Amino acid sequence: MSCLKIMNRGSSSKMTSFRIVHQTSYRYTDKVVLDPHYLRLFPRLGTCCVDSHDFKVTPEPAGTSSVLDAGGDRVMLAWFRKACDLLEIRSELVVRVEPFNPLHFIFYPVSCARLPMVYPSEQAAALVPYMDREEISTLADFAASLAADSNQDTLSFLTNLCRAVCNGFSYEQRNEGAAWAPAFTLKERKGCCRDFAVLAMALCRRMGIASRYVSGYYLNDDAAGPADLHSWVEVFLPGAGWRGFDPAQGVACDHHYLALSAAADPLQTMPVTGTFYGNASCRMLAVLTIDRLGIDYD
């Protein structure tokens, strides 16, 4: 049992338990040789109490190592010796999460509470990978309009951005494929959670706010059964650190969000990445279920 409870920022002693079962299968039409694979299926340190984690890889790897990636997320590297026609990764988590106020912070220096964001020099260099932006006029105009409507207030801009996407864009389920380009999502006024996260990143960066893409689970209080991997955005706010905002739901991220990985590039947050050698095609099947188990009181 690992209890990493460092995010308690309120007086509540109520904790909600969830069981998360995430299984991903890759079936090959013939025997293949697997290169080492990165597995990003471990909760970020400090986001929950992990009561149990049953993790199994088939075929059994020749070896594994647990590492922290460039973003500080825990990742498993697994390598294999024997050829196979099936790769299956099954993760079963039982976690407890505690309510907290995601907006309980201050800006320091206070100048960062106003847009455009200007980071202290000691932070700016480290945030360069999260500042890359697309020079597209439609994105610049939309970001500037949101900032003006927010009176150039940083927090108001972030909350208004989430509400604008949640209320003004149509959500559509799309289980396969990369996230759309932000300009395309803005033009079409529709997308899935990963499209909205990438759009939010682009808009934040237009205002000088460092942002990164997050992949993880949304823990609905009414959760029971099938679910989908979720995506949102984190922004770096001086005095508060990395803070999550979900444009798909229109809210700041609280204890209902369990992050697995975060990166400047969405492709670096995929739950499983790797390559194989062989004359075969591959079919992937991912099944995720999240069940709420109950509420505990200290």
- Residue spans of the domains in the chain: they are 2-99+271-297, 127-269
* The pLDDT of residue 4 is above 50: no
Closest listed residue to residue 37, CA positions, set 93, 92, 90, 87? 87
Whether residue 10 is predicted with pLDDT greater than 60 in this model: the reply is no
Please give the distance of CA 260 from its chain centroid, rounded to a whole number: 6
pLDDT band at 75 (very low <50, low <70, confident <90, very high): very high
Residue 11 has pLDDT above 60, yes or no: no
What's the pLDDT score for residue 222?
83
* pLDDT (0 to 100) of residue 3: 39
- The architecture in CATH of the region 127-269 reads Roll (3.10)
Interhelix angle 193-206/154-168, rounded to 10 degrees, is 150
102-116 average pLDDT score: 97
* CB-CB contact of 159 with 102 (8 Å): no
Average pLDDT, the chain: 93
* Predicted local confidence at residue 297, as pLDDT: 64
For the chain, the farthest-separated pair of C-alpha atoms sits apart, in whole angstroms, at 61
Per residue in 92-108, pLDDT (tens digit) is 999 999 999 999 999 99
Q: At residue 47, does pLDDT exceed 90?
A: no
The Cα–Cα gap between 110 and 194 comes to 31
How far is residue 44's CA from residue 263's CA, in Å, rounded to a whole number?
A: 13
Average pLDDT, integer, range 288-292: 96
Angle at which helices 137-149 and 154-168 cross, to 10°: 120
- Higher pLDDT: 135 or 145? It is 145
Of residues 68, 93, 64, the one with CA closest to residue 261: 68
Residue 1: pLDDT above 70? Answer: no
At 5 the pLDDT is 31
pLDDT band at 195 (very low <50, low <70, confident <90, very high): very high
Average pLDDT (66-86) is 95
Angle at 42 between CA 163 and CA 205, to 5 degrees: 35
Q: Which residues contact 13 (CB under 8 A, 6 or more apart)?
A: 98, 297, 298
Mean pLDDT over 257-265 rounds to 97
Percent of the chain with pLDDT strictly greater than 90: 87
| Residue 8 pLDDT > 60 | no
Q: Is the pLDDT of residue 13 over 90?
A: no
* Mean pLDDT, residues 183-195: 98
pLDDT at res. 46: 81
Pick among 2.60.40.10, 2.60.40.2250, 1.10.1660.10, 3.30.70.20: CATH of 2-99+271-297 = 2.60.40.2250
pLDDT score at 221: 87
Please report which confidence band the pLDDT of residue 59 belongs to, taking 50, 70 and 90 as the band edges. Answer: very high
Does residue 229 surpass a pLDDT of 90? yes
